[in-house]
Amino acid sequence: MNEATLFALCAVLLVGAGLYGLIVNPHPLRKILAFNVVGSGVFLLLGAIARRGAGAGFGGDPVPQALLITGIVVAFSATALAVALLLRLHDAAGSVTLASEVPPKVEPDAGSR
């Protein structure tokens, strides 16, 4: 088995593991972590596909590799936004639960609007 197939299969398992964590972990921060594991699995899969496209003197197809760099940066910005939303929820509600039966608490600064 060459390294492209090996890491592609590794990537597939990472996606599966991350997907399981995304569904099962109740804490939103753990869901963000699991989502990042899924994302890195997708990136690794694309990286393995880029490796298969090696040619013309390049070790991998540079087009998907460039897309990967873009993707990693965008994934970071999305994670930062998700974490900011979560911290705001924590400040506003005092908890971060996603369960539907918990009554929503009033936002502390709602009166100032």
Partner 1 sequence: MMEALNAGLALLLLALAVWTIVARDAFAAVAGFIAYGLLLTLAWVQLSGVDVALTEAAIGGGLTGALLIGAVGRLRDTEATARVERPKALTRALAALVAGAVTVALALCVLTLPDPAPTLAPDVAANIAATGVGNPITAVLLAFRAMDTLLEAIVLVFALIGVWSLAPDRAWGGRPGVRHVADPNGILAYIARVLPPIGIIVGMYIFWAGADHPGGKFQGATILAAMWLLVMMAGLTDAPPISRAWLRIGLVAGPLVFIAIGLAGAVTAGAFLAYPDGYAKPLIIVIELALMPTLALILALLLVGAPQRTIQR
CB of 106 to partner 1, least distance (A): 14
- Restricting to residues 40-99, name those near partner 1 by CB under 8 A: 40-41, 44-45, 47-63, 65-70, 72-81, 83-88, 90-91, 95-97, 99
Spatial distance between the Cα atoms of 71 and 90, rounded to a whole number of angstroms? 28
Joined tokens for residue 22? 């995304």
Do 12 and 51 contact (CB within 8 A), yes or no?
no
The residues in 13-32 that bind partner 1, with binding defined as CB under 8 A, are: 13-21, 23-27, 29-30, 32
How far is Cα 107 from Cα 111, in angstroms, rounded to an integer?
A: 8
Size of the site for partner 1 (CB under 8 A): 83
The least distance separating partner 1 from the CB of residue 95, rounded to whole angstroms, comes to: 6
Structure tokens at 88: 């705001």
User: How near is the Cβ of 104 to partner 1 at its closest, in Å?
Assistant: 15
- φ/ψ of 16, rounded to 5, equals -60, -45
